[in-house]
């Protein structure tokens, strides 16, 4: 996808509108409407139009959310009975095919799509209610109830399903839950709360006004026409979108920048800043340290168990290879006065950033 910054560098403009944009799923809708404090309208536009997407790195939060979701669906069955269906239960034998599409509304809407967590159906398999499941370690954000950006997500699926009720299950986790999510035990009123909403009358504040999901989705369609259909992005928030702008500038340096050495340095600095941001956000330093420690331990264990005449041992996906290397006794050569006769000099270059040792 070819694109450029506008003259003022306040927006991104596609050479032609994206022909295969991603849909406004429930996780993207609040961002498009400016209701998500963690992602801006510009950021979600970049994602939808395939200009830039933050790389996904699995961490303890995503792992816990995936593990606990099935536990909470079973808990919901205790509250509502066997009418509660997970996606796999609802779609039955069709589930593998549906899952590959990542969209339960394929062919129904060019703008809205996504995958609900669970729903309640009647004896005719008609949708009665949609269930959205949220895990969080920030209980303080839920002091006044479901945060608006989370509620919008749930209501979108309730609206698309034509469900009268929308339920949000909030699970409040501590560090032990993140370490061992499979051991999570839901206790109503303590670490789990059930929130109930009338899908079409529930409201969130949008531009200071209570707004229903039908109205929000109408605004979202206008947003789509203004930005996705035209290929012209919403205005860039240079503070919130700093990481994205750095990434985009590596592809499109400022016209007045030195296109050789200057752009090379700018590109390197931007890439290092992106890496540092990802390291901090996702704890990559800790992960690399843990991986190195495990590799060292595995290496020692395999080496200790290797037969003396063996040169290789395989365990699972890992192979330890033993090799011998000859070296020259430099001290002896110097003592015999032969070192200078056979010494070869070579030039090496070391690149360091200012402040690095």
DSSP 292-350: HHHHHHHHHHHHHHS-TT--EEEETTEEEE--------HHHHHHTT-HHHH--------
Q: Give the end-to-end CA distance of the chain in Å, rounded to a whole number.
A: 40
- Per-residue confidence at 277, pLDDT binned at 50, 70, 90? confident
The confidence score (pLDDT) of residue 356 equals 63
Tokens 């394929």, residue located: 106
d(C-alpha 77, C-alpha 60), whole Å = 26
Contacts of 73 (CB under 8 A, 6+ apart): 84, 86, 117, 118, 131, 133
d(C-alpha 216, C-alpha 204), whole Å = 9
Query: 203 in helix, strand or coil?
Result: strand
**Higher pLDDT pick, 264 / 163:** 163
pLDDT tens for each residue of 198-229: 999 999 999 999 999 999 999 999 999 999 99
Give the residue from 64, 276, 46, 328 showing the smallest Cα distance to 173. 64
Q: Are 79 and 50 a contacting pair, CB within 8 Å? A: no
The confidence score (pLDDT) of residue 57 equals 78
pLDDT of 274 strictly over 50:
yes
Give the residue from 47, 14, 17 showing the smallest Cα distance to 32. 47
pLDDT of 260 strictly over 50:
no
The confidence score (pLDDT) of residue 264 equals 60
* Domain residue spans of the chain: 3-54+222-281, 60-199
pLDDT tens for each residue of 63-122: 999 999 999 999 999 998 889 999 999 999 989 888 888 899 988 899 999 999 999 999
- Per-residue confidence at 349, pLDDT binned at 50, 70, 90? low
pLDDT of 297 strictly over 90:
no
The confidence score (pLDDT) of residue 86 equals 94
Tokens of 19: 């022909």
Dihedral sign computed on CA atoms, order 185, 197, 204, 30: positive
Go through 145-158 and write b for each residue having 16 or more CB atoms within 10 A of its CB, e for each that does not.
Answer: ebbbbbbbbbbbbb
pLDDT of 160 strictly over 80:
yes
Tokens of 327: 């070296």
Residue 205 phi/psi, 5° resolution?
A: -80, 125
The confidence score (pLDDT) of residue 255 equals 44
CB atoms within 10 A of CB 81: 9
Instruction: Tell me the percentage of the chain whose pLDDT exceeds 90.
Output: 56
Contacts of 24 (CB under 8 A, 6+ apart): 32, 48, 111, 112, 113, 220, 224
The confidence score (pLDDT) of residue 30 equals 96
d(C-alpha 135, C-alpha 66), whole Å = 9
Question: If you average pLDDT over every residue of the chain, what do you get?
Answer: 87
Dihedral sign computed on CA atoms, order 140, 143, 148, 151: positive
CA-to-CA dists, residue 60 to 191, 205, 212, 267, 352, angstroms:
18, 31, 34, 31, 34
The confidence score (pLDDT) of residue 298 equals 84
pLDDT tens for each residue of 116-142: 999 999 999 999 999 999 999 999 999
The confidence score (pLDDT) of residue 271 equals 72
d(C-alpha 278, C-alpha 284), whole Å = 7
pLDDT of 181 strictly over 80:
yes
The confidence score (pLDDT) of residue 348 equals 60
The confidence score (pLDDT) of residue 161 equals 95
**Higher pLDDT pick, 357 / 82:** 82
Tokens of 133: 């499941």
């Amino acid at each position: 996808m070819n694109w450029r910054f506008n003259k003022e560098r306040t927006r991104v403009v596609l050479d032609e509108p994206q022909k295969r944009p991603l849909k406004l799923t429930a996780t993207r809708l609040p961002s498009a409407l400016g209701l998500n404090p963690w992602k801006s309208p510009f950021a979600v536009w970049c994602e939808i139009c395939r200009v830039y997407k933050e790389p996904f790195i699995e961490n303890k939060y995503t792992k816990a959310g995936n593990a606990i979701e099935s536990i909470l669906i079973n808990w919901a069955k205790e509250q509502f009975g066997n009418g509660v269906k997970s996606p796999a239960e609802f779609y039955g034998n069709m589930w593998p095919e549906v899952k590959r599409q990542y969209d339960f509304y394929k062919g129904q809407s060019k703008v809205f799509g996504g995958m609900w967590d669970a729903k309640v159906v009647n004896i005719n398999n008609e949708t009665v209610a949609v269930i959205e499941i949220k895990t969080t370690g920030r209980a303080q954000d839920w002091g006044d109830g479901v945060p608006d950006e989370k509620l919008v997500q749930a209501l979108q699926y309730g609206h698309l399903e034509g469900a009268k009720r929308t339920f949000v299950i909030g699970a409040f986790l501590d560090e032990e839950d993140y370490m061992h999510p499979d051991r999570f035990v839901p206790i109503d009123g303590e670490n789990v709360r059930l929130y109930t909403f009338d899908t079409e009358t529930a409201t969130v504040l949008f531009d200071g006004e209570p707004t229903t999901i039908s109205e929000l989705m109408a605004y979202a369609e206008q947003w789509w026409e203004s930005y996705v259909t035209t290929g012209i992005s919403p205005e860039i928030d240079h503070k919130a979108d700093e990481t994205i702008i750095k990434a985009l500038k590596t592809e499109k340096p400022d016209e007045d920048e030195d296109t050789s050495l200057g752009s090379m340095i700018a590109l390197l600095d931007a890439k290092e800043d992106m890496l540092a941001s990802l390291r901090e956000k996702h704890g990559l330093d800790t992960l690399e340290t843990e991986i190195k420690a495990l590799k060292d331990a595995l290496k020692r264990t395999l080496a200790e168990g290797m037969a003396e005449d063996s040169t290789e041992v395989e365990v699972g996906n890992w192979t330890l290879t033993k090799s011998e290397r000859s070296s020259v006794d430099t001290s002896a050569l110097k003592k015999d006065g032969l070192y200078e006769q056979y010494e070869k000099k070579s030039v090496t270059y070391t690149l360091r950033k200012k402040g690095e040792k």
